[in-house]
Amino acid sequence: MIGILPATLLSSIFALTSATPLRPHHLPRNYAAIGDSFSSGVGSGVFLNNSRDGLDIQCVRQDGSYPSQLLKIIPFTSYNSNFEFTSCSSDKLDDIDGQVAKLAALRTKFDLITLTIGGNDFGFGDIAQACVYPVLSANVTNPQAICDAAFDAGFAALADKKNWDKYAQKIHLIKSTLLAHGGKLFVTGYGKFFDDPIVGDACDKISFFPIAQLAALNMTASSRLKANNITDQVNSGIQTVLKHRNDHAVTFFDFDKSFEGKRFCEAANAADPIGSNNKNVFFNDLSTVLITPGVAEVAKQTPGLQVDITNLLQQVSVFHPKAQAYTPLVAQFAYKILIDSSYSHNVFVGPTKHCRSHHYNNWRKGGCAGYEVPAKCAIALRKEQDVAPTVVCENGDSFLAKPVY
């Protein structure tokens, strides 16, 4: 007989988480990150421990998240005190009110806000549990029916106009309550999990559950096609909501582009189609060795694996981006911020080579020094760092700036 893992092990783990525009003359002075687990960075690194609400562990906020990576590139006025992180794993659209209330209580407005939300409202977690990681059980005779029901619920939620009205309401709430005059709200979509499915391909013949004798379903082309379709419809729905607002303060970023060639079941990875620990696969799987200390103690590892699949963090990290998946998105964020702040004295937009010997002598002693910035790329200098800044580009590339003398 067949079924799925007990809810005590898996139920919470798969939760995923106009006006005329003003051209700011300064870099953002403060930043708030709002959203679900795709924003908190589940499975992307080590736990943070400095958020004002004290919920970094409970909300699974990690240092590989895109908000944390963005902080390393954009020189906010005061590095720690001007960043607020409320994104929380498993949060849905209805939970945005609570996140906004926390930030509103600070009685400040934010120059930059990022938002990723909606995956849980459209069944991402339920689909992962019912279709990707179901296991044999004496209590369930038809696991495919459970999987089909999860997909049906996801598509029904997508077709429900009330959900999209709610999405629009949350955008309005965030902007009207928290966004500073001339500030920017960046909204992301989600990445599709699978390469274009082909019947009979390598994934068609395997289960994602890492213990073969317990696996209930293969990750068929049909299921992968439905999963990708739901993600595409979520992204399209978000863009439609934002398009109807016609609001230059709100920008959509297509996170899905970051995953081209980096998804599960890529044809090029036929020998290892899941790619749990392949650095070129951008999603975590149940067998991915996470870098979080203590999550895979040798004494607790599941036999035959390098991980403990009963560990809650191991479970909640599945189908969430690895840290490297966020890097192209962060570069696009940063490029947009720098372009909008190009009048700032320490922002340089390519193509250019600049010389700053008199303002930043602590960077390079004894002469004129600067950095080369290619076309459609930009940098922001930090006086307090005697290191090369990161060049960020419109296409998502990023790299350390090349010094010129």
User: What are the tens digits of pLDDT across the range 88-132?
Assistant: 999 999 999 999 999 999 999 999 999 999 999 999 999 999 999
Section 369-395 average pLDDT: 84
The pTM of the full predicted model, rounded to 2 decimals, is 0.89
Q: Give the range among 99-108, 158-167, 176-185, 371-380 with minimum mean pLDDT.
A: 371-380
243-to-216, 232, 257, 366, 394 alpha-carbon distances in Å = 42, 16, 19, 52, 21
CA end-to-end span of the chain: 71
The CA-based angle 222-224-227, given to 5 degrees, is: 110
Residues 22 and 75: beta-carbon distance below 8 Å: no
Residue 315, pLDDT score: 96
* pLDDT higher than 50, residue 365: no
The CA-based angle 159-187-191, given to 5 degrees, is: 65
> Over the stretch 240-298, which tens digit does the pLDDT of each residue have?
999 999 999 999 999 999 999 999 999 999 999 999 999 999 999 999 999 998 888 88
Helix spans in 249-356 (H): 312-316, 323-340
Residues 112 and 71: beta-carbon distance below 8 Å: no
* pLDDT higher than 90, residue 163: yes
Q: Per-domain residue ranges for the chain?
A: 30-341, 347-404
* Cα distance between residue 258 and residue 280, in whole Å: 11
* pLDDT higher than 90, residue 40: yes
Residue 8, pLDDT score: 44
Q: Looking at the domain that runs over 30-341, which CATH code has it been given?
A: 3.40.50.1110
Q: Give the range among 134-148, 346-360, 365-379 with minimum mean pLDDT.
A: 346-360
> Over the stretch 282-316, which tens digit does the pLDDT of each residue have?
999 999 999 998 888 888 999 999 999 999 999 99
Section 4-17 average pLDDT: 43
